[in-house]
Amino acid sequence: MQLVPSSDQPRQVRQRCVFYLSGFDPKGAAHYHAMYRTEAALQSQVAGMPMEVGVRQKTASGNSFWKVSANPPEGPVKTHYVFLRWDDIVREHWPRSRIRLITDLLCTTWLNLRSGTLWRMFRLSWPPAVALFAPFLLLCAVLLGTPLLAAIVVWQIPPIDGWVPTIVAITALTALWLAIALALEKKYGMAWLLRSYAFTASQAGGRASQIDARLEQHAESLLHRINNYADDEVLIVGHSSGSMMAASVLAKALSRDPQLGARGPVVSLLTLGQCMPMLGCLPQARAFRSDLQRLANAEAIDWLDFSAPPDGCCFALTDPLAACGVTNEKERQDRPKLLSPRFAEMFELPQYLAIKRDKLRMHFQYLMAGSKAISYDFFAITAGAKTLADRFKNEASVRRYAGLQIVKIKNSAPRHIAGGAF
Q: What is the pLDDT of residues 51-64, one digit of tens each?
A: 999 999 999 889 99
Burial classification of residue 262, based on how many CB atoms lie within 10 Å of its CB (0-12 exposed, 13-18 middle, 19 or more buried): middle
* HEC secondary structure over 343-398: HHHHCCHHHHHHHHHCHHHHHHHHHCCCCCCCCCCHHHHHHCCECHHHHCCCCCCC
Q: Is the dihedral of CA 392, 394, 397, 401 positive or negative?
A: negative
Q: What is the pLDDT of residues 332-350, one digit of tens each?
A: 767 899 999 999 999 999 9
Q: What is the pLDDT of residues 180-215, one digit of tens each?
A: 877 877 777 788 888 999 999 999 988 988 999 999
CA torsion 237-242-243-245 (nearest 10°) is -100
Specify the pLDDT at position 390: 96
Is residue 33 predicted with pLDDT exceeding 50? Answer: yes
Q: Which residues pair with 57 in a beta bridge?
A: 65
Q: What is the pLDDT of residues 143-162, one digit of tens each?
A: 777 777 777 767 776 666 66
Average pLDDT of span 416-422: 39
- Calculate the average pLDDT of the chain: 88
Q: What is the DSSP letter of 23?
A: -
Burial classification of residue 61, based on how many CB atoms lie within 10 Å of its CB (0-12 exposed, 13-18 middle, 19 or more buried): middle
User: What gap in Å lies between CA 373 and CA 94, rounded to an integer?
Assistant: 37
Specify the pLDDT at position 341: 97
Residue among 346, 311, 376, 367 nearest 34 (CA): 367
Q: Binning pLDDT at 50, 70 and 90, where does residue 131 land?
A: confident
Residue 91: how many other CB atoms lie within 10 Å: 12
What is the end-to-end Cα distance of the chain in Å, rounded?
41
Specify the pLDDT at position 409: 52
The continuous run of DSSP H or E covering 236 comes out as: strand 233-239
CA angle centred on 222, ends 216 and 224, rounded to 5°: 105
User: What gap in Å lies between CA 81 and CA 59, rounded to an integer?
Assistant: 12
CB environment 26-43: b (16+ within 10 A), e (fewer) = bebbeebbeebbebbeeb
Q: Binning pLDDT at 50, 70 and 90, where does residue 8 land?
A: low
Q: Within 13 A of 357's CA, how many CA atoms are on the CB side?
A: 5
Burial classification of residue 357, based on how many CB atoms lie within 10 Å of its CB (0-12 exposed, 13-18 middle, 19 or more buried): exposed
